[in-house]
Structure 1
C-alpha cells in the first residue's frame, strides 16, 4: 500500500507470494498491486488455479 501511495499509481506494482486462490489475489490488488504473480500456488494447485482466480476476480475487477 505504501509504495502505491508514494508513487500515486505511476509505477506498476506486482503482488507476489502466497497466492493460492482468488481471495489472495484480491488482497494483493486491493493493496495497490496492478498485477499478481502466481508461482507456488500454481505448483501446488495446478494450471486450473489461473481460471479459478479469474472467475473469482471477474465480478469485481473485470
Structure 2
C-alpha cells in the first residue's frame, strides 16, 4: 500500500504521485487511446504535469498543488512547456 495509507482521512499530494502515474500508464496501455484520461494526484509542479502526460494522460486536474502554492503553480506548469 501507500505510505500513511493506514491513517484516517484522505491521502493527496506527493504521496500519491507515483501510484497515480502508474495507474495512468496502465489505463493508457489497456485502452489504446480510445477515451481521454484525466491525470490527477500529486501535481505540485510543471514537471509533475509532464509526468502525467508522458504516462498517457490527455488532460490534468490540479487541486492540492493549488491549495499549497496558489496561482504561481499554473505559471510553473505553463513554463514547463516552452
Q: TM-score range by the shorter chain?
A: 0.7 to 0.9
Q: Calculate the TM-score normalised by the size of structure 2.
A: 0.66
Any gaps of 5 or more consecutive residues in structure 2?
Answer: 1-24
Q: Calculate the TM-score normalised by the size of structure 1.
A: 0.85
**Larger radius of gyration between Structure 1 and Structure 2:** 2
Any gaps of 5 or more consecutive residues in structure 1?
Answer: none
Question: How many residues in Structure 1 have an aligned counterpart in Structure 2?
Answer: 58
Greater percentage in strand: 1
RMSD in angstroms over aligned alpha carbons? 0.9
- 1:2 Cα deviation from its structure 2 partner: 1.5
- Which of structure 1's runs of 4+ aligned residues deviate more than 2 A? none
Q: Which one scores higher on RCO, CA 8 angstroms, separation ≥ 6?
A: 1
